[in-house]
Amino acid sequence: MSEKDIVSIAAKAADDKKAEELTILDMKGVSLVADYFIICHGNSEKQVQAIAREVKDKANETGIDIRRLEGFEEARWVLIDLGDVIVHVFHRDERIYYNLERLWGDAPRVNIQEILN
């Protein structure tokens, strides 16, 4: 399965649970950690967990290896490591505080509409 397929599956799963401000950063050449970051947020701990659970479930259903899942219980910043794709599901307040989009501002953004359609 290609990285783009993984990005699409994870982004659609997050969108299905009404993730807010879904952003995909192309990290190739910018970070050695992953090729793509998917960043989104929920407005409550329950929504953050629902988004993370849906991403995890869709990954499992399609055979994507989940290397690591952190922060689920606290539901403030859940990190789902899908190998070359890392999904960051924030609580709204933490997203504002950590502002990964600014931190990785030199990473190009992927057109989310092309992924979701």
Shortest CA distance to 115 belongs to which of 6, 11, 2, 1? Answer: 11
pLDDT of residue 117: 80
Shortest CA distance to 78 belongs to which of 92, 65, 90? Answer: 90
Which positions of the chain have pLDDT values less than 50?
none
pLDDT of residue 90: 98
Domain borders along the chain are 3-116
pLDDT of residue 1: 87
Whole-angstrom Cα Rg for the chain: 13
pLDDT of residue 25: 97
Provide the CATH number for the domain formed by 3-116 in this structure: 3.30.460.10
CA angle 24, 68, 18 (to 5 degrees): 40
| Secondary structure (3-state) at 12 | helix
pLDDT of residue 43: 97
